[in-house]
């Protein structure tokens, strides 16, 4: 069972059994970073990550996922708060909880990618790459499209 934190009518838990995977999928499949992602991939990603569910009266209203070896490296992904719940400091609280998680302390590198939330993440120690020339990636932007037979 994961930790459970409360703030007013909101809770954050790391208990994967409490996550509403169809609700998470509904948001992610319409997000700019994972449009049309299949439900099976969302489930597999959740199964292999440290996840943080944000709830309001038991309803999933936010989410964050961390991919990590829990020793030296972590990557923050799939962070969202539903539109109806924005403006209450919930994204800040969610990232604060992620950054404070005991399994994510003392990491050499904690990364993320964002198109529009740079100021949010800067508050929590994230900044542009110190040595961008050292980092590489292999991207498949058609990753959710089944391969042709």
Contacts of 37 (CB under 8 A, 6+ apart): 25, 28, 29, 144
Dig out the tokens for 141 from the structure.
Answer: 């932007």
The CATH class of the 4-134 domain is alpha beta
Contact 99, 50 (CB under 8 A): no
Between 142 and 74, the more confident residue is 74
On the CB side of 66, how many CA atoms lie within 13 Å of its CA?
Answer: 27
Asked whether the beta carbons of 82 and 61 are under 8 A apart, the reply is yes
* Arithmetic mean of pLDDT over the chain: 93
Span 46-66, average pLDDT:
97
- pLDDT for residue 121 is more than 90: yes
- Cβ contacts of residue 12 below 8 Å, gap of 6+? 4, 5, 52, 53, 54, 55, 93, 94, 97
* Among the listed residues 139, 130, 133, the one whose alpha carbon sits nearest the alpha carbon of residue 111: 130
Question: For residue range 95-120, what is the model confidence (pLDDT) as tens digits?
Answer: 999 999 999 999 999 999 999 999 99
Structural domain spans, the chain? 4-134
């Amino acid at each position: 069972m994961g930790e459970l934190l409360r703030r007013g009518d909101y809770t954050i838990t790391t208990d994967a059994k409490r996550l509403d995977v169809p609700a998470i999928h509904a948001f992610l499949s319409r997000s700019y970073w994972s449009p049309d992602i299949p439900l099976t991939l969302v489930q597999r990603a959740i199964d292999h990550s440290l996840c943080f569910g944000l709830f309001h009266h038991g309803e999933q209203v936010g989410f964050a996922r961390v991919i990590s070896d829990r020793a030296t490296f972590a990557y923050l992904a799939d962070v969202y708060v539903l539109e109806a719940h924005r403006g209450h400091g919930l994204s800040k609280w969610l990232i604060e909880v992620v950054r404070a998680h005991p399994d994510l302390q003392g990491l050499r590198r904690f990364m993320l990618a964002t198109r529009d939330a740079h100021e949010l993440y800067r508050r929590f120690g994230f900044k542009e790459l110190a040595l961008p020339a050292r980092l590489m990636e292999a991207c498949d932007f058609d990753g959710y499209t089944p391969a042709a037979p």
